[in-house]
């Protein structure tokens, strides 16, 4: 009996990685995004940030909640992070728009920048003209991310 228990425990420890489903869902990628967005917001917008994420998920709320005060609607927010692929109606919303999609960034002039994954690598782009229009000033170390797209 002792031997059986010992084998069971040994097996459990050795194959512990098989039981990660028992833990809370955790997304490192999301946390990285939240950190970068928080840094951009601090460096560019400067005023206290209230973040709105359309159709925010529980895990997003938990992760982004560590860095931002989260708003339930876009009217009360001064930073809107569009990270879903479908279309949203932001007609009533005022604030700074940021996305995680390069194509959206190119297509919609409201977005001043994007943080997206290109070939599994994080990429950051700010559009110079839009930064200027929205009166966002970024420190010099952001220059390598600023593009002069028309």
Residues near other proteins (CB under 8 A):
6, 10, 14-15, 28-29, 102, 106, 118-125, 144-145, 147
Q: CB of residue 97 vs other proteins: minimum separation in angstroms?
A: 19
Nearer to other proteins, 29 or 94 (CB): 29
Q: CB of residue 14 vs other proteins: minimum separation in angstroms?
A: 5
Q: CB of residue 93 vs other proteins: minimum separation in angstroms?
A: 27
Nearer to other proteins, 70 or 124 (CB): 124
Nearest to 110, CA basis, from 73, 82, 142, 75: 82
Q: 114: which residues sit within 8 A by CB, 6+ positions away? A: 98, 99, 100, 101, 102, 104, 105, 123, 124, 125
Nearer to other proteins, 89 or 118 (CB): 118
Nearer to other proteins, 37 or 80 (CB): 37
- Return the number of other C-beta atoms located less than 10 Å from residue 50's C-beta: 16
Q: CB of residue 122 vs other proteins: minimum separation in angstroms?
A: 7
Q: What span, in angstroms and rounded, lies between the C-alpha atoms of 71 and 53?
A: 8
């Amino acid at each position: 009996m002792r031997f059986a228990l010992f084998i069971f425990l040994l097996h459990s420890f050795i194959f512990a990685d098989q039981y990660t489903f028992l833990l809370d869902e955790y997304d490192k990628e999301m946390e990285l995004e939240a950190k970068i967005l928080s840094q951009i917001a601090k460096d560019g917008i400067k005023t206290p940030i209230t973040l709105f994420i359309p159709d925010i998920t529980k895990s997003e709320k938990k992760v982004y909640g560590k860095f931002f005060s989260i708003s339930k609607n876009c009217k009360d927010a001064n930073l809107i992070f569009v990270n879903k692929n479908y279309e949203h109606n932001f007609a009533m919303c005022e604030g700074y728009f940021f996305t995680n999609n390069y194509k959206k960034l190119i297509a919609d002039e409201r977005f001043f920048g994007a943080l997206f994954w290109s070939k599994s690598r994080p990429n950051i782009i700010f559009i110079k003209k839009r930064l200027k229009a929205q009166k966002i000033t970024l420190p010099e170390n952001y220059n390598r991310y600023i593009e002069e797209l028309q």
